[in-house]
Structure 1
């Protein structure tokens, strides 16, 4: 017989792809606000813990997202020396950058560097490759900073903080930490900051041995799960077509090559847009793929000006329409990989205004999506240069 702590809660979720059994040991009182369940169109893993505060698969309030960033930043233990923050693509890029910026606000005298993993090459600098084995797109990359000052900060880092929406096995974190250590043997400790930690109650005591370093974890929800695979989902086709020398138009300005400061919010743009919207208008600020955080900052600036706004992003993740996913759109990706991208829980006409934000050059895929959603297009060319692109 399995003994359950009095404070634990048990859930059994029957998905189209199998049966998920979940035990929540801490954070249960807020779990419904943080988490939903979905079925992946992925034979490697048939379930998804769908976060409601990432602004990815679910429309999220920018204010609620920023509050989560603050809470996770507060889990980082006191540290000496520079800190390297790494966010995990693609789902947690915005989360990780927000946690990094919240930590900077709380520790203005300390040095820190932010990078995020990616599935695109930017420039000709060296790449660190590692695997996310259960992913639909398993190859991930981390760019070494090419700016000398940022590279020196990378090499001086003594603590690595890795940020993701979920920790289930921890294997991807271990793979990435080992890759970073090979470049910077001076790394002394690891901290994991996740919305949900489902590695189980024994995991914290095992982290030091797994990483070969002192390691800690901070999460808003802790527990564990089992999943019994059911019928395999239909094949959704390739979710990744990496070509080593292909330029996909991904920007170097927002964190792929390193950044040591908070990204500027487009406040002038927010002020102009807020003045254009009729009172009571419902607004969606929509990021694209790995481009998430700058659009979130636009949403937060609009919300601060009284606009009824939510934030979300397109994704390459194939998810079935079930559970926390009530609607799905499929369309070509704007990075030109030739793979399907998706938008969940957004139907055409659902919002009065849709602001489609992107980092790549505008092209047919973006114009087609803008037409479907009756959206306006905003090209973020740098932190302080955002251009509205006329919709043809």
Structure 2
């Protein structure tokens, strides 16, 4: 059983919640040689539907993380998927070493699973906003996969392939907007990727919807952590029997979250008692500068409308030069660099951060992204969300204006590289997030072109 964990000598960033709300993590399978507490910490949601939040230590969403660990963990999950399509050795030991922050282990993990492997054809689908880069990393590991992720952004010129709801989320509506519906509907195994499986209901609903449009014989659900109970696992088997299809699941670790009775009102009381005025505090304004890294106009910025293996090969060729331009633009003497992505735009900043870390080993590069998710911040080493930046949405979202957040970025950096697409490069950005970041460190703004064309 696990209620704490992580590296020896380190405080598990779930102890605070475990002590106050009685949340417990219990391990089950450990396919990658690590347990739940190695992969997640705990925080408290500002959400009337769920009290707790699992905060991943390898996703790079809420916690600034070595980008090579983030990409390496995603590639490792992809190797687990590969093993279901074609049996092959896994080699998972490096994940534990990377999580223990051993020198060079994150890069070694990434490199071990980035090596060329026989390409396997598949359609990989990631869930917005949290798993957009994770799904893309799984697709990279397969070598011949068409990648698409759901989106909450309607885009003119793209006909929806479908839509679905994610019941437990604070922002539930997802659109499926492939530029090439035929590529998304090809006869190949379908891999659904999310950061966690709580009940698996969203994935099963997606399989049912996709199967109604284009039946497949093989589906794989992949997640960093699998928290389904026996009843939820039986639901997966029942759907497979109903559809006459094979449905498998893979994860880096599995288990369950034990929640005491009354946790939802207890969590709400905790949020009410600890919330404070988060108005902007005026401080020294650091420099804000735009940097053109030379992202090609015809290279997709991610999988919102589809990403092909050829796009990935081209990105791999372009990345060193783009990272070099970014490195040249960093102010002199800045060594602690955060590359901050923007909501669903996770993969482009991840790969840019990874390339920057490779190009400049003298830098301490970390990666995370902004988010829609409202979470309580508590400045305690046993809590996963230490600081919280609040700012207005800046991409004219379809569901209207609202708050957005950046977590754990307020300390520890002397340069911040903010990566947005051009749809998010607006006056609201200039008046909101940019000055908030400039209170912390020098800011470099990188804008990549959002993919808009119907055909390529």
TM-score bracket for the superposition, by shorter chain length: 0.7 to 0.9
| Structure holding more strand per residue | 1
Shift of 1:182: 1.4
Aligned to 1:60: 65
Shift in alpha-carbon separation, 1:178–1:252, aligned structure 2, 3 A: farther
Q: Distance in 1 between matches of 2:348 and 2:66?
A: 15
Aligned to 1:324: 384
Aligned to 1:119: 152
SS of the residue corresponding to residue 320 of structure 1 reads coil
Aligned to 1:24: 27
Deviation larger for 259-268 or 131-140? 259-268
Aligned to 1:215: 247
> For 1:342-373, what per-residue CA distance to the aligned partner results, in whole angstroms no more than 9, with x for missing partners?
000111x6311111000125212322322221
Shift of 1:205: 5.8
Residue 358 (str. 1) matches residue 393 (str. 2): no
Q: Distance in 2 between matches of 1:267 and 1:351?
A: 23
Aligned to 1:178: 208
SS of the residue corresponding to residue 85 of structure 2 reads coil
Shift of 1:21: 2.7
Deviation larger for 324-333 or 13-22? 13-22
Residue 90 (str. 1) matches residue 123 (str. 2): no
Q: Distance in 2 between matches of 1:71 and 1:168?
A: 21
Q: Is the 8 A contact 2:339 2:417 kept in 1?
A: yes
Deviation larger for 22-31 or 289-298? 22-31
Q: Distance in 2 between matches of 1:18 and 1:112?
A: 42
Shift of 1:82: 4.3
- In structure 1, stretches of 5+ residues that fail to align are 1-7, 105-110, 237-250, 384-392
Q: Distance in 1 between matches of 2:385 and 2:121?
A: 40
- In structure 2, stretches of 5+ residues that fail to align are 5-13, 87-118, 276-298, 452-456
Deviation larger for 74-83 or 45-54? 74-83
Residue 260 (str. 1) matches residue 308 (str. 2): yes
Shift of 1:300: 0.5
Q: Is the 8 A contact 2:320 2:355 kept in 1?
A: yes
Q: Is the 8 A contact 1:85 1:160 kept in 2?
A: yes
Q: How does 1:1-392 map to 2 (within 5 A)?
A: 8-9=1-2, 14=17, 18-27=21-30, 29=34, 31-76=36-81, 77-78=84-85, 82-104=121-143, 111-124=144-157, 125-143=159-177, 145-147=178-180, 151-185=181-215, 187-200=216-229, 204=233, 206-211=235-240, 212=243, 213-228=245-260, 229=263, 230-231=265-266, 233=268, 253-261=301-309, 262-263=311-312, 264-265=315-316, 266-277=319-330, 278=332, 281-305=335-359, 306=361, 307-322=363-378, 323-337=383-397, 338-347=401-410, 350-359=412-421, 360-367=423-430, 368-374=432-438, 375-381=443-449
SS of the residue corresponding to residue 229 of structure 2 reads coil
> For 1:275-303, what per-residue CA distance to the aligned partner results, in whole angstroms no more than 9, with x for missing partners?
44446610000001111100011100101
Deviation larger for 310-319 or 94-103? 94-103
Shift of 1:310: 0.4
Shift in alpha-carbon separation, 1:206–1:175, aligned structure 2, 3 A: closer
Deviation larger for 226-235 or 57-66? 226-235
Please report the RMSD computed on the Cα atoms of aligned residues, expressed in angstroms: 2.7
Shift of 1:202: 6.5
